[in-house]
Amino acid sequence: MKNSIFVIIVSLLLNINNYSQSFTQIEANLKPMRYASIDWGDYDNDGDLDLLTSGSKFVGDTANFNNSDPATIIYRNDGNDQFTLVDSSITGTESGTALWGDYNNDSSLDILISGRVEINIGYSAVTEIWEKDSAGTFYKSIILDSLDYPNASWADINNDGFLDIFLSGDQDLSFPDLDPVSILFTNDQNGGFTRDDTSITGITYGGSEFADYDNDGDFDLIITGLELSNGYITVLYENQNGQFVQNPSNFLGVLRSKIAWADVDNDGDVDFVVGGQEGGIAATRTKLYRNDAGSFVEIPLPDSVLAQVSLPSFDWGDYDNDGDVDLLLSGQIGILATRITSILRNEGNFEFTALNDELVPVRTGDAKWADYDNDGDLDIAICGTDTSNTFGEYITRIYKNNLNVPNNAPTKPIISNAFVNGSDVLCEWIVSSDDHTPQSSLTYNLRIGTAPGGSDILNPMADENNGFRKLLALGNTNFKSSWEILNLEDGNYYWAVQAIDGAMAGSEFSNEGTFTVGSVTSSRNESLPQEYKLEQNFPNPFNPSTTIEYSIKEKSPVLLIVYNALGKRVITLVNKLQPAGNYKINFEASSLPSGIYFFKLSAGGFSETKKMILLK
């Protein structure tokens, strides 16, 4: 009896210990770094995430300013917690940015780096794009402006399907002079970028992030950092047809700063956290803002929960698979530059529990979520200087998530239609569901190509066969269940979409749809229909998809609905104001049973219903 009680007590103690220790460091043998940037991505397309690090590599016996060397390193994920250094020939940078991204839509990840290449007085700086050749070796393909203390971000700012670049930093490399600048580089779709003049305020010592904060179908930009005339700023710019217009909202202005978007309250729009140095080195600040339908409200949190940091890193992800995103934070606090790495566990309603003892405290580094071992929960990579001594030792570590809370990918979306209007297309789909993340907080990843399964027009950076995410980010349409791509050439196109949950797990892609540019007229065409008309679907019977064509003689509210044989609505294919023109809709019915269905068009006082047969 005593032995049994002893076994039970020991078992309980072990379980409590396992629960309290959410993360365990693995022996990854990574090069220690500070002033560093890290990013996860599946560069070798083998189905697991590899690690990109760029920063000041420790090369001496003590961690001080004279014993470091800028380096950019790729570590290949070999599985079973094993990482292999495979490439360190890429230009080494520190105090900058290193990002994966596919700028040329060839389904192979490229690297954008920007930063210092020397750390002594008289340093230089670079901004470069490196891409991979057929042998798997990276080579320098593009050189952009050299800026000190730079920040860079990718996004498709003009809805043409190709990644563009925002770059900011100090263009005067002669210490201690400052000349902050912000630059937009527009992708020319031919392997190059066009340097565009922009009204965006020039900043340095800061950060930037793109997101569709107002859910209007394009990517907006928020920046934070040092601006010469106004000091420390955080400014939101709204994307208006590719032009960025300043939003009047007032936010915490900081330098040595970073910013990160996420849907913290699961209401289907992005909130954000920003942190940095507000005044002197003692004035470190962090604030969280809630997005209320395009307006922002500061959420006050005690310092014991949301640490007041400068030189921060922020990353959002649902590490405990409870359906809301948690914050991974690192940086330095106050005049003593106290190091911290904290997990803010989201308890809902903008309440958080700070977990400060799980991870090594660091500053001058970076921290990122990723499910590197494909076990369904988010792990962590961290780099920076720790608390080992006065200066701190350089470190780069990976921590495995031990919670073992299962997470299933979302259900795959169902595509509904693609509206072609001249050279533009609007793709729409039916939203997915998930076992943890609320439907309103799922994001979506759209793929468009010129061949079946292709993604040469809009690349989701995910495996089209199983949905595996090659990069961890919000989907390329954010929370919207429709997206517009502009200025397509005439031809046939193929598209599909996947859903992404708060733990960055991607669903399988939907069944593929098609549309044609060049055979559909609209209000911008010379030949306009003279009457309202609904055509019979083709093919009919069909399995699993069919095409419905209709004509609108004048600008009208249009409603196109599919009903089953009992008269119950199955799906609304169109519900919007449309200009005069001829339209073609793809109806995808793979999730529906065989049977008789009806589709009804209502527009401008016109109404007509036709029958179609789904035969599986």
- pLDDT by residue (tens digit) across 317-372? 999 999 999 999 999 999 989 999 999 999 999 999 999 988 999 999 999 999 99
402 and 419 within one domain: no
Q: What is the pLDDT of residues 161-190, one digit of tens each?
A: 999 999 999 998 776 789 999 999 999 998
578 and 431 within one domain: yes
Cβ count within 10 A of residue 372: 25
Any domain includes 173: no
Last residue within a domain, chosen from 406, 431, 463: 406
Any domain includes 329: yes
pLDDT at 421: 87
Q: Which residues lie across from 129 on neighbouring strands?
A: 112, 142
Count of structural domains, the chain? 2
* CA–CA gap between residue 403 and residue 253 (Å, rounded): 37
* CB-CB contact of 444 with 495 (8 Å): no
Q: Which residues lie across from 185 on neighbouring strands?
A: 165, 195
355 and 431 within one domain: no
**Is the predicted pLDDT of residue 291 greater than 90, yes or no?**
yes
474 and 563 within one domain: yes
* CA–CA gap between residue 170 and residue 151 (Å, rounded): 10
For residue 188, which amino acid is it? D
431 and 393 within one domain: no
Last residue within a domain, chosen from 370, 386, 406: 406
Any domain includes 96: no
Dihedral sign, Cα of residue 242, residue 248, residue 251, residue 257: positive
* CB-CB contact of 475 with 458 (8 Å): no
Q: Which residues lie across from 37 on neighbouring strands?
A: 54
For tokens 């509904």, what's the residue? 416
426 and 383 within one domain: no
Any domain includes 142: no
* CA–CA gap between residue 193 and residue 186 (Å, rounded): 5
Q: Dihedrals φ, ψ of 163, to 5°? A: -70, 130
Virtual CA dihedral for 565, 569, 573, 575, nearest 10 degrees?
A: 140
Any domain includes 308: yes
**Is the predicted pLDDT of residue 63 greater than 50, yes or no?**
no
Q: How confident is the model at residue 58 (pLDDT cuts 50, 70, 90)?
A: low
The span from the first CA to the last CA of the chain, in angstroms, equals 64
434 and 309 within one domain: no
Tokens of 555: 């600008």
* CB-CB contact of 148 with 174 (8 Å): no
* CB-CB contact of 495 with 483 (8 Å): no
Sequence-distant (≥ 6) Cβ neighbours of residue 616 within 8 angstroms: 543, 544, 593, 594
**Is the predicted pLDDT of residue 120 greater than 80, yes or no?**
no
Any domain includes 543: yes
Last residue within a domain, chosen from 350, 377, 406: 406
439 and 290 within one domain: no
432: containing domain:
414-614
Any domain includes 278: yes
Tell me which DSSP letter residue 440 carries: G
Helix (H) or strand (E) holding 196, with range, is strand 193-196
592 and 515 within one domain: yes
603 and 474 within one domain: yes
Strand, helix or coil for residue 9? helix
Q: How confident is the model at residue 21 (pLDDT cuts 50, 70, 90)?
A: confident
Q: How confident is the model at residue 15 (pLDDT cuts 50, 70, 90)?
A: very low
Any domain includes 320: yes
434 and 370 within one domain: no
Q: How confident is the model at residue 3 (pLDDT cuts 50, 70, 90)?
A: very low
Cis ω on the peptide bond leading into residue 176 (within 30° of 0)? yes
